[in-house]
Amino acid sequence: MGVSRRHPQDSTRINVLEPWDLQYWSDRWNVPRQHVVDAIRRVGDQVHDVAQALGKE
């Protein structure tokens, strides 16, 4: 299953309902997708907050 190189429609939030959106951020931060999901569960879906939780900002 190939993942397209789409960019998020909203660059401030991560849409957990869109697998390609999770994959985009996972690739961008070079972390497993599950780490992104876990961070969202802890801090919410704001890109800035998730990046901080992952130590990427």
Q: DSSP string of 9-45?
A: SSTTB--TT-HHHHHHHHHHHTS-HHHHHHHHHHH-S
Domain count, the chain: 1
Is residue 44 included in any domain, yes or no?
Answer: yes
Name the pTM for this structure.
Answer: 0.83
Helix, strand, or coil (residue 53): helix
Position 24 in a domain = yes
47 occurs within a structural domain: yes
Q: Is residue 25 part of a domain?
A: yes
Each of the 57 residues of the chain gets a pLDDT tens digit; together they read 444 556 777 789 999 999 999 999 999 999 999 999 999 999 999 999 999 999 997
Cα dihedral: 31, 3, 41, 34 (round 10): -40
Range of the domain at 24: 19-53
Q: Is residue 26 part of a domain?
A: yes
Does a structural domain hold residue 43?
yes
Residue 54 DSSP symbol = T
Q: Which two tokens stand for residue 52?
A: 């901080």
On whether residue 14 sits in a domain, the answer given is no
